[in-house]
């Protein structure tokens, strides 16, 4: 009986070489757009203390309640694979005393994240996010700047049918008062709500705006809106963000039903969606989190940022057909294929290949024990420009373009290839 074939865990995937180019392109565009705008790359650990997410993301969120990969590290400490990047980056901001740097501090990241969700198209258990966080300023220009950066990134990678929705959640105080008002409204219409929403009236009433069932939707259509309950200051902040987006030519829709799945948001929240995606239409989203750094034990430091799913960006983009597929990687040219007719020449072939690579050539050697005919076929398959054939008798060089083959001095092989390549 042969052993059972193992597969990647459900909701995870391999990024194969032919899929790497599309991902690399997103990363390249991100760097090109973010770094001149003052954003420095940050990488935090894959796992963190569980408490960071419990305190940072919020106990009542789906992410913390049911989606975290949490484990005991064997020393009695509870660790969690990061489900998101904002809380870890705020932790790093505090830990490294970044509040002493000129503010705001601008950071960007591209990392893998982990959520135990039901896998479906565009939803994975390990996925990648690109994101930015700007910490240390409550200027509405920060909100607008980060939004413009995501709009520009999506534009640069060719994401199709993108729509931006924005809203404001106001201050925690306004939100608390509104929450009570919304709860009262939900309780009044209890019988018309889905059981799911009914169960969460106490814990997370705002999520009722996300519900799909017609009964709940009807109730929510008549529900009070947080956007109408903002303090003057928060309303002014939101108006300023909108004015700046107008100035930057970024189109948006104000959507007072917009809710985000994480608890740390204050004031501005936003989401980019693409109609090119299915049910999981959110390409990227984020907002302001003015209380998060303090909640994690740091100094008062307002922040704002977003994250976008790499797989969803690729899915929504013109030149990438599938969540984890992309255009074929353009392989670098093979200038030299080193063949040998006799095993005693193998070490020499190895040496020549290493030498050729150090000289900056694209070089490959025979590794599969093929006959000379097979080796020439392989050289052709990889598109080699020259083939060096090492034998007991000496060395020969075959020009794969002209088909011409001639004997050469072994020590001259590299020089000949370099010259031949230069002439091409
Ligand atoms: P989020 O909305 O939870 O926000 O995730 C951001 C993006 O990550 C989503 O729009 C989606 O593209 C992608 N994403 C999320 N979950 C999955 C999944 N299971 N499979 C594939 N893609 C997924 C955050 O994570 C916040 N930290 C964003 C933020 C940064 N807010 C402020 N700063």
Encoded tokens for 65: 């309640």
pLDDT of residue 377 exceeding 60? yes
Distance from Cα 312 to the centre of ligand 1, integer Å: 10
pLDDT in tens, 22-48: 999 999 999 999 999 999 999 999 999
pLDDT in tens, 81-136: 999 999 999 999 999 999 999 999 999 999 999 999 999 999 999 999 999 999 99
Distance from Cα 261 to the centre of ligand 1, integer Å: 9
Least confident of 59-73, 283-297, 302-316, 410-424: 410-424
Which whole-number Å values give the CA distances from 53 to 63, 65, 84, 88, in the listed order? 9, 10, 9, 8
pLDDT in tens, 310-335: 999 999 996 544 333 444 556 789 99
pLDDT of residue 329: 54
Tell which phi-psi region holds residue 328, choosing left (phi > 0), alpha (psi between -120 and 50) or beta: beta
Global pTM value: 0.90
Question: Collapsing DSSP states into helix, strand and coil, what is residue 392?
Answer: coil
The overall average pLDDT reported for the chain is 94
Question: Collapsing DSSP states into helix, strand and coil, what is residue 19?
Answer: helix
Distance from Cα 278 to the centre of ligand 1, integer Å: 16
Evaluate whether the domain defined by 336-423 bears CATH number 3.40.50.800: yes
Distance from Cα 284 to the centre of ligand 1, integer Å: 6
Query: Probe ligand 1: pick from 307, 311, 314, 322, max atoms within 8 Å of CB?
Result: 307
Give the confidence band of 2 by pLDDT, cuts at 50, 70, 90: confident
Q: Which residue do the tokens 């198209």 mark?
A: 121
Residue 236 φ then ψ, to 5°: -65, -45
Q: Nearest C-alpha to atom 12 of ligand 1 is from which residue? A: 309
The DSSP 8-state label assigned to residue 9 in this structure reads P
Evaluate whether the domain defined by 17-170+230-322 bears CATH number 3.40.640.10: no
Helix (H) or strand (E) holding 386: strand 386-391
CA distance 264 to 302: 11
CA distance 366 to 24: 29
Closest among 139, 80, 155, 71 to 104, alpha carbons compared: 139
Give the confidence band of 204 by pLDDT, cuts at 50, 70, 90: confident
pLDDT of residue 210: 84
Judge whether 17-170+230-322 and 336-423 match in fold: no
The domains of the chain are located at: 17-170+230-322, 173-227, 336-423
């Amino acid at each position: 009986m042969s052993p059972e074939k193992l597969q990647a865990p459900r909701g995870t995937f391999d990024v194969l070489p032919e899929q790497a180019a599309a991902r690399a392109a997103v990363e390249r565009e991100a760097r090109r757009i973010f770094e001149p705008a003052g954003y420095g790359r940050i990488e935090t650990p894959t796992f963190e203390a569980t408490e960071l997410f419990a305190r940072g993301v919020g106990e009542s969120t789906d992410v913390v309640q049911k989606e975290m990969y949490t484990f005991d590290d064997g020393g009695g400490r509870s660790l969690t694979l990061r489900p998101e990047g904002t809380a870890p980056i705020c932790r790093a901001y505090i830990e490294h005393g970044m509040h002493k740097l000129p503010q705001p501090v601008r950071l960007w990241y591209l990392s893998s994240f982990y959520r135990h969700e039901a896998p479906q198209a565009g939803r994975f258990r390990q996925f990648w996010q690109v994101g930015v966080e700007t910490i240390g300023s409550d200027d509405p220009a920060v909100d607008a700047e980060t939004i413009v950066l995501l709009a520009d990134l999506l534009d640069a990678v060719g994401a199709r049918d993108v729509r931006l929705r924005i809203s404001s959640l106001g201050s925690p105080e306004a939100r608390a008062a509104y929450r009570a008002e919304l709860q009262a409204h939900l309780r009044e219409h209890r019988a018309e709500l889905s059981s799911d929403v009914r169960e969460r009236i106490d814990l997370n009433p705002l999520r009722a705006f996300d519900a799909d069932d017609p009964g709940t939707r009807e109730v929510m259509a008549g529900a009070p809106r947080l956007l109408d309950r903002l303090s003057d200051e928060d309303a002014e902040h939101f108006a300023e963000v909108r004015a700046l987006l107008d100035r930057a030519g970024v189109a948006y829709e104000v959507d007072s039903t917009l809710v985000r799945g994480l608890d740390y948001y204050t004031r501005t929240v936003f989401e980019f969606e693409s109609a090119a995606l299915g049910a999981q239409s959110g390409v990227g989203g984020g907002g302001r989190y003015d209380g998060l750094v303090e909640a994690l034990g740091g100094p008062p430091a307002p922040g704002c940022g977003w994250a976008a799913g790499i797989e969803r960006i690729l899915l929504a983009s013109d030149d990438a057909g599938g969540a984890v597929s992309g255009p074929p990687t353009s392989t670098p040219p093979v200038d030299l294929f080193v063949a040998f007719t006799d095993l005693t020449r193998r070490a020499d072939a190895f040496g020549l290949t290493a030498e050729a690579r150090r000289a900056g050539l694209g070089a490959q050697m025979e590794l599969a024990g093929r006959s000379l005919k097979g080796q020439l076929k392989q050289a052709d398959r990889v598109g080699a420009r020259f083939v060096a054939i090492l034998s007991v008798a000496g060395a020969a060089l075959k020009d794969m373009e002209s088909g011409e083959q001639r004997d050469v001095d072994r020590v001259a092989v590299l020089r000949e290839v370099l010259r031949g390549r230069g002439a091409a």
